Amino acid sequence: MPELPDITVYLEALEKRILDHTLERVLINSPFLLRTASPPFTAVEGKKVVALRRLGKRICIGVENELWLVLHLMIAGRLHWKAETGLSGKLRTSGAVARPSGRAQLKVSKSKNHLAAFQFDNGLLTLTEAGTKRRASLYVVEGDEGLRALDPGGVELFRPSIRAPAKEFIDLATFTRVLQSENHTLKRALTDPRLFSGVGNAYSDEILWRAQLSPVKLTQKLSADEIKRLHAATRDSLIDWIERLREDAGAEFPEKVTAFRKDMAVHGRYKEPCPRCGGKVQRIRYATNETNYCPACQTGGKLLADRALSRLLREDWPKTAEELG
């Protein structure tokens, strides 16, 4: 699932391409994608993009008349951008065929993985979702009130933006208050969208490895020093990955968005050597979720694999992927 670093880089790429441009047409190719009926999605057609915003793990595209397109990519949703210059020298949308009236008729792939297309006056933004489960969603809402209705309520880790991340990260006191507001495992607390905004399965593994803390330690059992380490590790991990993803994308649209990256310390690296101590990375599997950790660095050498732990994780983990949103 694209998380805060991935969504940040997506938004920066979109800002360069669609801000102040007109959204000419929207094509919905899947009956499962659109989750709202009013306003109709056609209400955004012909409107200029005036704002872009992140809401947790959601991408919000604001157009004129205070309308918002809100995209949640979930686990397998991805965005793609294509722009081409026609013979006239004018930017033309890839995949579009000109109508006699001069307006382009939108055509996209008939593949079941292509869920939607958004035709702008300078290019085509498409949404795909791998696999057969249709979890990605699109909402069309009005104003800040409509956005608030979709907000899980987690505190923003960077306020008000990510432009100067080290200075914008929330203070230790706020972080501590939110972290210990409920007694969850650290893994659950970091990924709970009602507590913290934008952190998911992948980056929580990296944060906990950097902080050298067990994923199943309970939040209300943490010492002041452990909370301070976790606060610093959360800030540094997210900033580090935002900068890496920015560098990877460069001037191009980010097409290689994945939860498994070769430079990650532990996430997705089961049985591979820990970059800190060289020990083998281990994992805890429960339902369709997985936690990766280094026993030597995070749990005092203990393998987290007993039945009591499995029960704990079942009780302390969302039942569906949607609850991680």
The three state secondary structure string of 18-56 is: HCCCEEEEEEECCCCCECCCCCCHHHHCCEEEEEEEEEC
| DSSP string of 129-144, one letter each residue | E-SS----EEEEEEHH
Tally the domains of the chain: 2
Averaged confidence pLDDT in the chain? 86
Instruction: Confirm if 96 and 119 have CB atoms less than 8 A apart.
Output: yes
CA–CA distance, 106 with 98 (Å, rounded to integer):
9
Compute how many other C-beta atoms are within 10 angstroms of the C-beta atom of residue 243. 13
Backbone φ and ψ for 274, nearest 5 degrees, come out as -65, 130
Residue 153 in any domain: the answer is no
Q: Name residues whose C-beta falls within 8 Å of residue 296's C-beta, 6 or more positions apart in sequence.
A: 274, 277, 279
- The parent domain of residue 263 ranges over 165-320
Residue 154 is predicted with a pLDDT of 95
CA–CA distance, 1 with 129 (Å, rounded to integer):
11
CA–CA distance, 45 with 79 (Å, rounded to integer):
19
Kind plus residue range of the DSSP H or E element containing 204: helix 201-211
CA–CA distance, 56 with 134 (Å, rounded to integer):
20
Give the residue from 112, 145, 93 showing the smallest Cα distance to 31: 112
> Do 184 and 283 fall within a single domain?
yes
Q: Tell me: the pLDDT tens digits for 195-253?
A: 999 999 999 999 999 999 999 999 999 999 999 999 999 999 999 999 999 999 999 99
Residue 323 is predicted with a pLDDT of 54
Mean pLDDT of 120-131: 94
Residue 321 is predicted with a pLDDT of 43
Give me the CATH number covering residue 179: 1.10.8.50
Q: What confidence tier does 92 reach under pLDDT thresholds 50, 70, 90?
A: very low
Q: Domain ends where: 148, 181, 205?
A: 148
Residue 28 in any domain: the answer is yes
Residue 34 in any domain: the answer is yes
Backbone φ and ψ for 48, nearest 5 degrees, come out as -85, 140
> Do 9 and 79 fall within a single domain?
yes
Mean pLDDT of 144-154: 95
CA–CA distance, 53 with 133 (Å, rounded to integer):
26
Residue 197 in any domain: the answer is yes
Cis geometry, peptide bond prior to residue 273 (ω within 30 degrees of 0):
no
Give me the CATH number covering residue 76: 3.20.190.10
